[in-house]
């Protein structure tokens, strides 16, 4: 079975006590869906981006930019004539 993970997922708690998640291809789609749910559940009392094994603060982990790759350059600020570039690997 294939799993589907939308790009953005928000979670909100409403005045009626329900806590629901809202998905979207964009943050605005997820946010608009969350706001539309106020008609059925009352005012939003709290909301945030979902953080779990697939999301970090509401953003699907596969679309988050990866950290820079090693080796980071080591810059000699001492102007040592014997300085050699070192690899961090």
Per the model's pLDDT, the better-predicted residue between 24 and 70 turns out to be 24
Q: How many CB atoms lie within 10 A of CB 34?
A: 20
Stated pTM of the model:
0.67
3-state DSSP call for residue 55? strand
- From 1-5, 33-37, 45-49, 83-87, the region with the lowest mean pLDDT: 83-87
**Cα end-to-end span (Å), the chain:** 38
Q: Which domain holds residue 64?
A: 1-89
**Beta pairing partners, 55:** 60
Q: How many domains does one find in the chain?
A: 1
């Amino acid at each position: 079975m294939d799993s589907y993970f939308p790009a953005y997922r928000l979670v909100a708690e409403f005045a009626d006590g329900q806590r629901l998640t809202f998905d979207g291809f964009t943050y605005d789609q997820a946010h608009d869906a969350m706001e539309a749910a106020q008609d059925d559940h009352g005012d939003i009392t709290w909301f945030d981006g979902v953080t779990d094994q697939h999301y970090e603060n509401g953003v699907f982990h596969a679309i988050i930019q990866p950290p820079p790759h090693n080796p980071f350059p080591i810059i000699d600020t001492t102007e040592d004539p014997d300085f050699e570039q070192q690899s961090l690997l």
